[in-house]
Amino acid sequence: MTRARVLITCEHGGNDIPAAYRHWFRGHETALETHRGQDPGALALARDMAQACRAQLVCSTVSRLLVELNRSPGHPRLYSDITRALPQAEKHALLVRYYLPYRKQVESRIVAALRACRRVVHVSSHSFTPILDGVRRHADIGLLYDPSRAFETRFCLAWRQALLEAAPGLIVRRNYPYRGTSDGLTTHLRRRFSASQYIGIEIEVNQKHTLGDARRWARLRRAIAIALHAALKSDA
């Protein structure tokens, strides 16, 4: 992807709860350790991709159970079951302290990059639980994008092909286990930037890998990063 700057983000990189808010989570410590509290492995992958592509990295390690950085204001899951019942002033304070600064930082990095080049490739790093609501997810990696945006479609095809070459046997699916057009940071940014300026992709990795054997997970991260670099160098 010639003449493009790369930005890597990770919205669910940890399960930290700042000290001022920990009393809200008494009795909910177990939830913080599950996929509800963070995306295990997503931050390590984000760092590896950023290093391989010499890309900027924006990440958060504050738990999504405090405020969901990958949802829009007004979305029913912007706040979790733990924080949804808080007074409106408290919820607004969470937006001001954590949500808005993160979103503004990502947007400002894109604006700055577009001053220097014609296009930004934004990869948002996530992981997904192998079984949700009793249903097993049949994929190792998902690439989420907007099919109506030609650059995103072609980029994901190139990245998928490079992934299959770097790690044969992987099940790599497009717009799975979620739709790339569902509410999220990339969807918001598509409204902010044109299709010729902005390519927004979410990568979702099955947590059977991120929580499995550490050496195998390190090898998979490397394969993903190498494949991303190859896709960026292609004419997709």
Where do we find the tokens 């604006």? 111
pLDDT in tens, 63-104: 999 999 999 999 999 999 999 999 999 999 999 999 999 999
Helix (H) / strand (E) containing 217: helix 214-233
pLDDT in tens, 197-212: 999 999 999 999 999 9
Range of the domain at 221: 4-233
| C-beta atoms surrounding 220 within 10 Å | 25
Angle between helices 42-53 and 214-233 (to 10 degrees): 40
Amino acid in the structure at residue 138: H
| C-beta atoms surrounding 140 within 10 Å | 18
Amino acid in the structure at residue 151: F
The sign of the CA dihedral 144, 228, 70, 196 is negative
Contact, 79 vs 91, CB < 8 A? Answer: yes
In the three-class reduction of DSSP (H, G, I as helix; E, B as strand; rest coil), residue 44 is classed as helix
Structural domain total, the chain: 1
Digitized pLDDT (tens) for each residue of the chain, 236 residues in all: 557 899 999 999 999 999 999 999 999 999 999 999 999 999 999 999 999 999 999 999 999 999 999 999 999 999 999 999 999 999 999 999 999 999 999 999 999 999 999 999 999 999 999 999 999 999 999 999 999 999 999 999 999 999 999 999 999 999 999 999 999 999 999 999 999 999 999 999 999 999 999 999 999 999 999 999 999 998 54
165: CATH: 3.40.630.40
